[in-house]
Structure 1
Amino acid sequence: MTERVSDTLHASKADVWYLKEIAFGSTESKRKLKIITQNFNGPCSFIAICNILLLRGQIEILPYERGTVSYEFLAQLVGEYLLMSCPDIDVSAALSIMPSTTKGLDLNPLFTGPTSFRPAGEGGELKLFEQAGIELVHGWLVDPESEEYRVMKHVRDYDTAVTLIADADHVTKGQLLTQTADVWGGDAGGSSQAEGSSGAGGGPSGYASHTSPCDSYSEKDKEKIEHALVSQAFLDSTKSQLTYHGLFQLASVLQPGSLVALFRNSHLSVLHKREGEDSSLYSLVTDHVFLQEPSVVWERLEDVDGVGSTFVDSDFVRSTPVGGDFAGHTAESALQALEMEANPDAALARQLQAEEDGRSHEIYMRRQRQQEIRRVQEREEEERKRKNEDGASRKSKKRKDKCVIM
């Protein structure tokens, strides 16, 4: 009974989001507004859409004094905005897509363009962003100057890379993922994204020049294995789903003053490029732990892992959180320290949740690969049956022809 009550309370809290007051805009037109903070593993996609519309002044939460909002309230607000500002779109279709944004989007970024995504399924979620006039971007890009670009420009997107890895793992009978370094010689098909060096042994990336198991494969399979090794190395070295080349590309393609939805770490956040001399990129801080920290509004996006990122306030001045003096701390370490001071139990729960999320991600990736391997095996089995049937049919035809001739 206690567990059921606890689950109910957790679900009810997860469906209600707290509001935080910030200021946004140029010096002449700066205005106060409420943004939506994210609690537990809240729907980052839907919250990002709503916060961008709030920052643009396209929707407004009233009365201003309210401290929380629900999904139903926000869905109605966004639906009314689409109805009034986008008369040509099918609002009912948009509203039917909206609930899926609360559960996470199945996005498939292309490694060659910051605004390029291949929709998964019917791609309705991407349509919702388009209808709301919100650009979706990512920085998970391969550097054209790197050795791996030769392969990744053909692999192109994440889903294809996962399928290729699973396919090659099947060809090698499970050796690709379990014994990469030992079997394939040296650095397993390349290096980290930052290094960008080629594979060992002077041959194609990822192959040793000495005799190795790859000698027994056809040229087509060798190429598949090589591309899979490079793809695996790229995914392993860019686990934050952001590269320095991608960061530079975002800084160059985004217009000053723009507000876009950034896909990173399998989440969506609000990304802003300031106008004026400071053209840095800033991510809106929506974590619930900073609800009572008015000086923590944006996080400057300065590196791919968040190690050197810093918090700033509404004026984009370095933060001075009331929770303590965090001078010299990175955004990540300040967040951990604030959580520990405010609520040690919550901090521990968050740490355990992060570890669980990491394990879940690994399980998800493993399942994806296993599913792809099964699909490959099924295709091969069907092809083998078809060839056997064709062979039997040809033999039967020869026997019949022979009888006729006799």
Structure 2
Amino acid sequence: MTAQSQPVSQQETNVHTISQQQIQASVDNYQNSVSDVWYLKTIEFGEGDKRRTTKIITQNFNGPCSFIAICNILILRGALEILPPERKTVSYEFLSQLIAEHLLITCPDVDISAALEIMPCTQKGMDLNPLFTGAKSFRPNGTGGELKLFEQVGIDLIHGWLVDPESPEAEAISHTEDYDSAVMLIAEADHVTKGRFVVNDSDIPQAESSKSPVYSDEERAKIENATSIRRFLDSTQSQLTYHGLFHLASTTKPGALMALFRNLHLSVLYKRDTPEDTSLYNLVTDYIFLNEPSIVWERIEDVQGSMSTFVDSSFIKSSPAGGDFAGQTAEEALRAAEMEQGEFYPSDPADLALAQQLQAEEQEGARREREWYAREKERRRLEEVQKQQEKEDYKQRRGKKEKKECIIM
């Protein structure tokens, strides 16, 4: 290769790199601008004479689920009102001002300045440490200000990541109780076994093995407890157990609106105030369903979410247009389907051309929206998994460091 030909190739590479960087920058700028505001969705809420039309906040991109959950609960309770009625979007500044005004009226003893300092933390997600022995039990991390905010606005923060007292893991979990302590115990067991525990507990030599290292009774008990706890964590990755689900279903009062921690996410949990329906429901706030009026709630029917059912504002099983007809009314979807099958013929050729153009645009828009949602959902999932892994890695490293510092030479 000559000295003159190399800069040309390098120049082409730089042009391509700059182009890719510009594209990524545009995408980042677009996401940041969109994430600054949240779209409102109109739903019906309430039983009988209390039924009313209201607007809920939808979550776009990796939005602040904690803050949005607080606002949606207060909106459904009637404590916050979004005005004017024709408003389509809201911002953090707009909503935080509404919450501050709500606290001034309902909780005059609350330090509003302190509450306003806490609220921005809910935009970045909350570092929650649930106890596996109590649905309303969380140990605060740091100052615990975020937990205090839920108390100030009168919202119960709950979870269903509960251990069954009759399960084999219950005894081991009774020694740690909360998630952070469980992770620390696993890190300590890994230190005792010289790094073999976290990789695979089957690699740990057993007592009968000739190559088994000598463990003290305390160390062996620690390894056994860590093994049980890790088995519990591996089998409850959705952060909801059937014991927890049954507990929530039996203890949640009819008409209650609470914030549910599950899958590293906070959502609105609701139980209808009617004896005919004792199910638990999650409020669907994904932006992708903004134009799906028949998808408002998700009935929780299993711990993995594979059997959950979408329902509308009347809690009737959803029959969304979906696909290329997502967000359209039943009449619009029927007409679009007839056109697709060649069974609908507008009398005016101009109407036919316009209908075909609109249909093509809607199909293309729906396709792009589905692709974007699939990519965004996967990206958010990977981000949460990475955050959780980083958190566990940090706690394991901290556990090893503290262990080393305690060694007496």
Quickly name the TM-score band, shorter chain normalised.
0.7 to 0.9
Q: Which runs of 5+ in 1 are unaligned?
A: 185-207, 327-338, 389-406
Q: Distance in 2 between the 1:156 and 1:373 partners?
A: 17
Are the counterparts in 2 of residues 111 and 158 from structure 1 also a CA contact under 8 Å? yes
Q: Distance in 2 between the 1:212 and 1:63 partners?
A: 77
Q: Distance in 2 between the 1:64 and 1:181 partners?
A: 61
What amino acid is the match of 1:52? I
The reply on whether 1:293 has 2:292 as its aligned counterpart is: yes
Deviations 1:36-72 (A, max 9, x none): 0000110000000000000000010000101000000
Give the equivalent residue in structure 2 for 1:320. 319
Structure 2 matches for 1:1-400, cutoff 5 A? 1-183=22-204, 210-211=208-209, 216-276=214-274, 277-323=276-322, 341=367, 343-354=369-380, 356-357=382-383, 359-361=385-387, 363-380=389-406, 383-384=407-408, 388=409
Q: Distance in 1 between the 2:211 and 2:285 partners?
A: 50
Are the counterparts in 1 of residues 172 and 226 from structure 2 also a CA contact under 8 Å? no
Q: Distance in 1 between the 2:221 and 2:52 partners?
A: 57
Give the equivalent residue in structure 1 for 2:361. none
Deviations 1:305-328 (A, max 9, x none): 0011000001110001122599xx
Give the equivalent residue in structure 2 for 1:401. none
- Closer/same/farther in 2, CA of residues 122 and 114 from structure 1, 3 Å limit: same
Q: After TM superposition, give the deviation of residue 26 of structure 1 in Å.
A: 0.7
Question: Secondary structure of the residue that 1:28 maps to in structure 2?
Answer: helix
- Closer/same/farther in 2, CA of residues 324 and 352 from structure 1, 3 Å limit: closer
Q: Distance in 2 between the 1:35 and 1:358 partners?
A: 24
Q: Distance in 2 between the 1:253 and 1:92 partners?
A: 35
Q: How high is the sequence identity, in percent, across the aligned residues?
A: 56
Deviations 1:165-217 (A, max 9, x none): 11110111101011312326xxxxxxxxxxxxxxxxxxxxxxx5733766510
Q: Distance in 1 between the 2:212 and 2:36 partners?
A: 53
Are the counterparts in 2 of residues 167 and 373 from structure 1 also a CA contact under 8 Å? yes
Are the counterparts in 2 of residues 111 and 140 from structure 1 also a CA contact under 8 Å? yes
What amino acid is the match of 1:72? E
Q: Which runs of 5+ in 2 are unaligned?
A: 1-21, 326-364
Question: Secondary structure of the residue that 1:302 maps to in structure 2?
Answer: coil
After TM superposition, the structure 1 stretch with the greater mean CA deviation from structure 2, 282-291 or 9-18, is 9-18
Are the counterparts in 2 of residues 167 and 372 from structure 1 also a CA contact under 8 Å? no
Question: Secondary structure of the residue that 1:223 maps to in structure 2?
Answer: helix
Q: Distance in 1 between the 2:140 and 2:402 partners?
A: 22
Could you list the structure 1 runs, at least 4 aligned residues long, displaced by more than 4 angstroms after superposition: 212-215, 339-342
After TM superposition, the structure 1 stretch with the greater mean CA deviation from structure 2, 10-19 or 371-380, is 371-380
After TM superposition, the structure 1 stretch with the greater mean CA deviation from structure 2, 172-181 or 4-13, is 4-13
What amino acid is the match of 2:372? A
Q: After TM superposition, give the deviation of residue 343 of structure 1 in Å.
A: 2.3
- Closer/same/farther in 2, CA of residues 348 and 267 from structure 1, 3 Å limit: closer
What amino acid is the match of 2:128? L
Deviations 1:214-255 (A, max 9, x none): 651000100111111111111111001000000011111111
- Closer/same/farther in 2, CA of residues 15 and 213 from structure 1, 3 Å limit: farther
Are the counterparts in 2 of residues 162 and 368 from structure 1 also a CA contact under 8 Å? no
